[in-house]
Chains A and B, each alone.
Chain A
Amino acid sequence: EVQLLESGGGLVQPGGSLRLSCAASGFTFSSYAMSWVRQAPGKGLEWVSDISGSGDSTFYADSVKGRFTISRDNSKNTLYLQMNSLRAEDTAVYYCAEAVGYSYGVHWGQGTLVTVSS
């Protein structure tokens, strides 16, 4: 059974940093591109970032480019999102998922809440 379990969310001050993790199990993690998608409270879904299975290719939304970094450790079956220079508008539930738009892009985690506030 595929499982994606996010962690690392919490309350952070504007300008601060946070690193999200997503522990994957039940599939050959290194063979799958992965995504981060977020959802601000009461708002719609926003794609944030993708990374290839090998980690060689990464893609970002304009809203996070230069501030967020996606990475993965295939030896640990774990996906990461390093978030720097956080802003109030980054407040959201962050989901990790098998890469959205890929044929296998079905499974999502349960999400982790990031709140940026002073």
Chain B
Amino acid sequence: DIQMTQAPYSLSASVGDRVTINCRASQGIRNDLDWYQQKPGKAPKRLIYVASSLQSGVPARFSGSGSGTEFSLTISSLQPEDFATYYCLQHNSYPRTFGQGTKVEIK
């Protein structure tokens, strides 16, 4: 099975900050990686698919990059509504695996 390791586990940031979350796959997964945002009590929302494609309707301050084993999600200027937990998901092979999540909190 492919293991997905996300870092950091949590971070504190201020509105306007640039934030980067990283995800490492235990083996190469090409660009078969998506990023999700989840707010408390809500279903996850897909932000980025195939590593770098922005989901329709998602603000352009979100971007994704990477391929192979190293991936990142960047929020260029953190907004109040961005405080949430973020997950990566590999869909290169079964079983699908999520990263452990990164909680973005207000500093």
Contact = CB atoms under 8 A, between A and B. Distances in A.
Interface in A13-69: 35, 37, 44-47, 50, 59-62
Contact-size category for B: 20 to 34
A10 interface: no
Nearest to A45: B98
Nearest to B56: A106
Contact-size category for A: 20 to 34
Q: Chain B: interface secondary structure?
A: loop
B67 to A, nearest CB: 16
A35 B50 CA distance: 18
A92 interface: no
Contacts, number: 55
A9 interface: no
A46 B87 CA distance: 11
Contact of A101 (B1, B87, B96, B101): B96
Nearest to B55: A106
Interface string A57-100: 00111100000000000000000000000000000000101001
Given A95-B43, A110-B43, A111-B43, A101 B98 contact: no
Most A Cβ at <10 Å: residue of B34, B91, B95: B95
Interface of A: 35, 37, 44-47, 50, 59-62, 95, 97, 100-103, 105-106, 108-111
Given A47-B89, A109-B43, 4 more contacts: A45-B44, A47-B95, A101-B32, A101-B90
24 contacts: A35-B96, A44-B87, A44-B99, A44-B101, A45-B44, A45-B89, A45-B98, A45-B101, A47-B95, A47-B98, A59-B94, A95-B43, A95-B44, A100-B34, A100-B89, A100-B91, A101-B89, A101-B90, A105-B34, A105-B46, A106-B46, A108-B43, A108-B44, A108-B45
